[in-house]
């Protein structure tokens, strides 16, 4: 509980890499979208940020972190243990987007 309060107080941001398959591509190579997110963001807020970037309706999106599907009411804070640290010391998270 104490850790959660500290993170909330700092508004810790993470760099999220959203992997998805582009619709126009004939090859099934994943495309990537990088977004600056806050750990306090709910999954529905994340989906609206993806919607603004990709123009994909949020109700058609399914987000996964590893084998777990993220629920709209979840907070990214629930997935903190899946973050890595990059060379600049920033926390990074990779999510898979299925449309």
Is residue 2 domain-resident? Answer: no
Per-residue pLDDT tens, the chain, 99 aa: give them: 445 444 445 568 899 999 987 655 455 566 889 999 998 899 999 999 999 999 989 999 999 998 999 999 999 999 999 999 988 888 999 999 998
Region for 56 from its dihedrals, namely left if φ exceeds 0, alpha if ψ lies in -120 to 50, beta otherwise: beta
Is residue 34 domain-resident? Answer: yes
By the 8 A CB rule, do 3 and 82 touch? no
Domain that holds residue 47: 13-22+30-98
Q: Could you tell me which residues are beta bridge partners of residue 48? A: none
Q: State the total domains in the chain.
A: 1
Region for 91 from its dihedrals, namely left if φ exceeds 0, alpha if ψ lies in -120 to 50, beta otherwise: beta
Backbone angles phi, psi at 91, to 5 degrees: -80, 135
pTM of the model: 0.78
CA angle 87, 78, 13 (to 5 degrees): 40
Is residue 5 domain-resident? Answer: no
Q: Can you give the CATH number for the domain in which 44 is found?
A: 3.10.20.90
């Amino acid at each position: 509980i104490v850790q959660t309060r500290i993170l909330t107080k700092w508004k810790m941001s993470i760099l999220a890499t959203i992997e998805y398959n582009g619709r126009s591509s004939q090859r099934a190579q994943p495309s990537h979208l990088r977004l600056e997110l806050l750990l306090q963001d709910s999954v529905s807020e994340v989906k609206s940020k993806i919607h603004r970037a990709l123009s994909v309706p949020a109700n058609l999106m399914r987000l996964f972190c590893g084998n777990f599907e993220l629920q709209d009411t979840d907070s990214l804070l629930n997935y903190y243990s899946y973050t890595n640290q990059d060379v600049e010391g920033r926390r990074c998270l990779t999510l898979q987007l299925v449309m």
